[in-house]
Structure 1
Amino acid sequence: MSNILVIGGGMVGSVIARDLSEKYDVTVADVSNTRLKLLKKRHPSFTTIELDVMDLDSVKSAVKAFDLVVCGVPGHLGFQALKNIIESGKNVVDISFAPENSLELDYLAKKHKVTAVIDAGVAPGMDNLLLGFHNTRMEVSHFECLVGGLPKIRKKPFEYKAAFSPIDVIAEYTRPARFFEQGRMMTREALSDRELVEFEKIGTLEAFNTDGLRSLMFTMNNVPNMKEKTLRYPGHVDAIRTLKASGFFSKDKVSVRGLEVTPLEVTSEILINEWKLKPKEEEFTIMRVTIHGQEGEKHKEYVYTMYDEYDKVKHETSMARTTGFTANAICQLLLKGKFDKKGVFAPEHIGGHTDCCKTVLDYLEERKVRYRLEENVLST
Structure 2
Amino acid sequence: MKDIVVIGAGKIGSTIARMLAHSGDYRVTVADRSEEQLAAIEQHEAVSTAVVDIADAAAMKALLTGKFAVLSAAPYHLTVAIAEAAAAAGVHYLDLTEDVESTRQVKRIAENAKTAFIPQCGLAPGFISIVANDLASRFDTLDSVRMRVGALPQYPSNALNYNLTWSTDGVINEYIEPCEAIVEGALIEVPALEEREEFSLDGVTYEAFNTSGGLGTLCETLKGKVRTLNYRTIRYPGHAAIMKALLNDLGLRHRREVLKDIFENALPTTTQDVVIIFVTVSGRKGGRLIQETYANKVYSAPVAGALHSAIQITTAGSICAVLDMLADGSLRAEGFVRQEEIALDAFLANRFGHYYAQENRGAHAA
Q: For residues 306 and 86 of structure 1, what CA distance do their matches in structure 2 show?
A: 36
RMSD over aligned Cα atoms: 2.3
Q: For residues 106 and 258 of structure 2, what CA distance do their matches in structure 1 show?
A: 34
Q: Which amino acid aligns with 1:241?
A: K
1:237–1:367 distance in 2 versus 1, CA, 3 Å: closer
Shift of 1:60: 1.3
1:154–1:300 distance in 2 versus 1, CA, 3 Å: same
- Equivalent position SS for 2:101: coil
1:181–1:96 distance in 2 versus 1, CA, 3 Å: closer
User: Which residue matches 1:241?
Assistant: 244
Q: Which amino acid aligns with 1:366?
A: H
Q: For residues 45 and 89 of structure 1, what CA distance do their matches in structure 2 show?
A: 23
User: Which residue matches 2:281?
Assistant: 291
8 Å CA contact 2:80, 2:105 repeated in 1? no
8 Å CA contact 1:103, 1:344 repeated in 2? no
User: Which residue matches 1:273?
Assistant: 265
Q: Which amino acid aligns with 1:303?
A: T
1:6-25 alignment runs, 5 A limit: 6-21=6-21, 22=23, 23-25=25-27
Which consecutive residues of structure 1, in runs of 5 or more, have no partner in the other structure?
252-262, 376-380
User: Which residue matches 2:81?
Assistant: 80
Deviations 1:2-60 (A, max 9, x none): 2222121211111111111113222211121111101145x575211122223221121
8 Å CA contact 2:209, 2:233 repeated in 1? yes
User: Which residue matches 1:304?
Assistant: 294
User: Which residue matches 1:115?
Assistant: 116
Q: For residues 108 and 237 of structure 1, what CA distance do their matches in structure 2 show?
A: 36
Aligned-pair identity in percent equals 26
Q: Which amino acid aligns with 1:292?
A: S
Which consecutive residues of structure 2, in runs of 5 or more, have no partner in the other structure?
none
8 Å CA contact 2:208, 2:234 repeated in 1? yes
The answer to whether residue 324 in structure 2 is matched with residue 323 in structure 1 is no
- Equivalent position SS for 1:331: helix
Q: For residues 148 and 2 of structure 2, what CA distance do their matches in structure 1 show?
A: 36
Aligned residue-pair number? 355
TM-score normalized by the length of structure 2: 0.89
8 Å CA contact 2:132, 2:147 repeated in 1? no
User: Which residue matches 2:162?
Assistant: 160
Deviations 1:187-224 (A, max 9, x none): 43322221211112x61111112223242232321322
8 Å CA contact 1:110, 1:342 repeated in 2? no
- Equivalent position SS for 1:39: coil
Q: For residues 107 and 233 of structure 2, what CA distance do their matches in structure 1 show?
A: 29
Shift of 1:329: 0.9
1:136–1:103 distance in 2 versus 1, CA, 3 Å: farther
User: Which residue matches 1:360?
Assistant: 347
- Equivalent position SS for 2:206: strand
Shift of 1:100: 1.4
Q: For residues 191 and 72 of structure 1, what CA distance do their matches in structure 2 show?
A: 25
User: Which residue matches 2:196?
Assistant: 194
Deviations 1:272-301 (A, max 9, x none): 1223415xx411111101123234555443
User: Which residue matches 2:98?
Assistant: 97
1:187–1:103 distance in 2 versus 1, CA, 3 Å: closer
8 Å CA contact 1:132, 1:347 repeated in 2? no
1:15-164 alignment runs, 5 A limit: 15-21=15-21, 22=23, 23-40=25-42, 43=44, 46-138=47-139, 139-164=141-166
